[in-house]
């Protein structure tokens, strides 16, 4: 029987070929951009709900709470989660002292992170560490926490500073952490501190495929009056190369802008950083 469809065979094949292309386009949905709330720490300490509303109003989709969150009660964490839900934003991770992963500290960290909807309990600083054996103990602590978090669908991670990229007795501590932890321990890359240490963030991403699940988009530039005072996108970090490596090899799930020391009001700096982000990600 002759088909009465208005589509010719050539048209049909052409339209069918577009189906996987459309799927590929859909999969390239932009990754969320968030703010490490240390960037607005003064505003946050004065009025947390107001500061979070301001950040959401600027267009940030994710926030990361840092150290002081650990002193909250469970009720405070639940109230904060409601605020995030009402604003349509998420908390994917928190920053923690290493002690929060101890046998005594981890239960509270789990409770608060679950209440917030956070998936990653990230160590922001290991504190004082003595020698390579000290760094191996840090890796052991992360590994033990990962084993306890895995059944809860939670993960831990480590956020670098410059000193983890500086060799100790011929080894970079960040390499010991990567080698001494299972692959589901996130290596949260702070780009600014990596660059300050004279290291290549793109090479580090490529050397650790699938583990750079979140990147702190903090910039840095040499010279007086620069350093971490420069806004995101105005320093020397090779951002487009970083994005390409992170999204093709690193396993990045979301980005976080972090601004430490701009000579302007915090919320103005976060707004300008976001504008720079949009320019660079076009």
Give the whole-angstrom CA distance, residue 160 versus residue 158: 6
237 within domain boundaries? yes
CATH number at residue 115: 3.20.20.150
Record the tokens describing residue 141, joined without a space.
């602590």
Of residues 127, 74, 119, 120, the one with CA closest to residue 97? 127
pLDDT of residue 191: 98
Residue 18 has pLDDT above 60, yes or no: no
262 within domain boundaries? yes
Residue 48 near residue 80, CB atoms below 8 Å: yes
Give the whole-angstrom CA distance, residue 106 versus residue 110: 6
pLDDT band at residue 29 under the 50/70/90 scheme: confident
Residue 157 near residue 183, CB atoms below 8 Å: no
pLDDT of residue 268: 98
pLDDT of residue 17: 38
171 within domain boundaries? yes
13 within domain boundaries? no
First CA to last CA distance, the chain: 51
Structural domains in the chain (count): 1
**DSSP strand pairing (254-257 vs 155-159):** unpaired
């Amino acid at each position: 029987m002759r088909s009465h469809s208005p589509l010719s065979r050539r048209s049909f094949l052409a339209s069918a070929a577009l189906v996987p292309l459309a799927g590929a386009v859909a999969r390239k949905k932009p990754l969320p951009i968030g703010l490490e709330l240390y960037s607005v720490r003064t505003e946050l300490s004065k009025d947390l709900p107001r500061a979070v509303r301001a950040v959401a109003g600027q267009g940030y989709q994710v926030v990361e709470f840092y150290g002081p969150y650990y002193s909250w009660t469970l009720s405070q964490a639940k109230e904060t989660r409601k605020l995030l839900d009402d604003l349509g934003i998420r908390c994917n991770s928190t920053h923690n002292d290493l002690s929060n992963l101890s046998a005594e500290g981890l239960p509270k960290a789990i409770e608060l992170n679950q209440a917030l909807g956070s998936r990653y309990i990230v160590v922001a600083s290991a504190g004082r560490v003595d020698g390579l054996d000290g760094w191996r103990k840090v890796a052991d602590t992360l590994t033990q926490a990962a084993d306890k978090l895995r059944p809860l669908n939670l993960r831990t991670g480590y956020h670098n500073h410059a000193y983890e990229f500086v060799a100790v007795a011929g080894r970079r501590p960040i390499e010991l952490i990567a080698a001494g932890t299972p692959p589901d321990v996130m290596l949260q890359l702070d780009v600014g501190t990596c660059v300050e240490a004279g290291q290549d963030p793109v090479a580090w991403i490529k050397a650790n495929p699938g583990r750079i699940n979140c990147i702190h988009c903090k910039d840095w530039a040499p010279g007086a009056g620069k350093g971490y005072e420069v806004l995101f996108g105005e320093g020397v970090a090779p951002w487009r190369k970083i994005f390409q490596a992170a999204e093709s090899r690193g396993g990045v799930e979301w980005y976080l802008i972090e601004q430490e020391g701009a000579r302007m009001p915090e919320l103005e700096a976060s707004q300008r950083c976001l504008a720079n982000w949009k320019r660079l990600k076009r």
